[in-house]
Amino acid sequence: DVKVTQSSRYLVKRTGEKVFLECVQDMDHENMFWYRQDPGLGLRLIYFSYDVKMKEKGDIPEGYSVSREKKERFSLILESASTNQTSMYLCASSFQNLASTDTQYFGPGTRLTVL
Amino acid sequence: SQQGEEDPQALSIQEGENATMNCSYKTSINNLQWYRQNSGRGLVHLILIRSNEREKHSGRLRVTLDTSKKSSSLLITASRAADTASYFCATEGGSRLTFGEGTQLTVNP
């Protein structure tokens, strides 16, 4: 079975702190994604990556950056956390499929609270 | 804007009843996927239906796709309390998925 793990289930940080959210997948997937989920807004794509050291902006990249130094690991970085970044963060991965968009496998999520 | 939109936003039924959720989308797709999310957890893939398919079954799940109407439905038959969750449709936008806001299904024992 595909396994996607996220470093923390719950995280509390203070405004202005630098925050790292880590995601690791064990299925040799090329694609990895970071979403945030908020009530009434659904899932919104922050950043995604098709390969090592490669990244693409999603719909809401402002205030975030990402790092993909190894194929299995995709990190989301909040350079200076703000209260409006309090949210559930979901990581996902999938195979590269040039013909169509493949199934995404999700981690359990990290609920981040910024005080 | 969201590509996929689910309807209804919330659905409450009794155990044993069937639950139907609908999804509408705007642009042409190669496939449409349905996911489930238990409260406070990640999403789990349920079923994928390709644009050349009209209906697909998986256990108690039945998914239909009408590309002329740009809509899909997810039917859960003989629902159980454990089916209580949010259900999302996901459509393609380029090389990525776009999720709707989901239908919250509550199955009362």
pLDDT, tens digit, 9 for 90 and up, residues B62-91: 999 999 999 999 999 999 999 999 999 998
Q: A90 — contact with chain B (CB < 8 Å)?
A: yes
Which residue of chain A is at minimal alpha-carbon distance from B97? Answer: A101
Confidence bin at B17 (pLDDT 50/70/90): very high
Task: Give the lowest-confidence range in A35-39, B15-19, B98-102.
Answer: B98-102
User: Does pLDDT of B43 surpass 90?
Assistant: yes
User: Do residues A7 and A21 touch, judged by C-beta distance below 8 A?
Assistant: yes
* N-terminal to C-terminal alpha carbon distance within chain A: 37
Radius of gyration of chain B (CA): 13
CB pair distance less than 8 Å for A92 and B43:
yes
Shortest Cα distance from B25 to chain A (angstroms)?
15
pLDDT of residue B3: 64
User: Does pLDDT of A2 surpass 70?
Assistant: no
* Average pLDDT taken over every residue of chain B: 91
Confidence bin at A100 (pLDDT 50/70/90): low
Q: How far is CA B81 from CA A8, B53, B54, B74, B107, in A?
A: 29, 30, 28, 17, 5
User: Do residues B31 and A101 touch, judged by C-beta distance below 8 A?
Assistant: yes
CB pair distance less than 8 Å for B88 and A43:
yes
Confidence bin at B7 (pLDDT 50/70/90): confident
- Tell me the torsion sign for CA atoms B69, A36, A24, A1: negative
What backbone phi and psi angles, to 5 degrees, belong to B11?
Answer: -145, 130
* N-terminal to C-terminal alpha carbon distance within chain B: 36
Write the secondary structure of chain B as one string of H (helix), E (strand) and C (coil): CCCCEEECCEEEEECCCCEEEEEECCCCCCEEEEEEECCCCCEEEEEEEECCCCEEEECCEEEEEECCCCEEEEEECCCCHHHCEEEEEEEEECCEEEECCCEEEEEEC
Of B42, B45, B96, the CB nearest to A48: B96
Q: A42 — contact with chain B (CB < 8 Å)?
A: yes
Quote the CA–CA distance of B35 and B87 in Å, as a whole number. Answer: 6
Task: Give the lowest-confidence range in A58-62, A95-99, A103-107.
Answer: A95-99
Q: Which residues of B touch A (CB under 8 A)?
A: 2, 30-31, 33, 35, 40-45, 48, 50, 88, 90, 92, 95-102
Quote the CA–CA distance of B40 and B42 in Å, as a whole number. Answer: 7
Closest CA to B27 of A101, A19, A32, A58: A101
Tens of pLDDT, residue by residue over B97-107, are: 889 889 999 99
Residues of A in contact with B35 (CB under 8 A): 106
pLDDT of residue B1: 42
Q: What tokens were used for A85? A: 């970044």
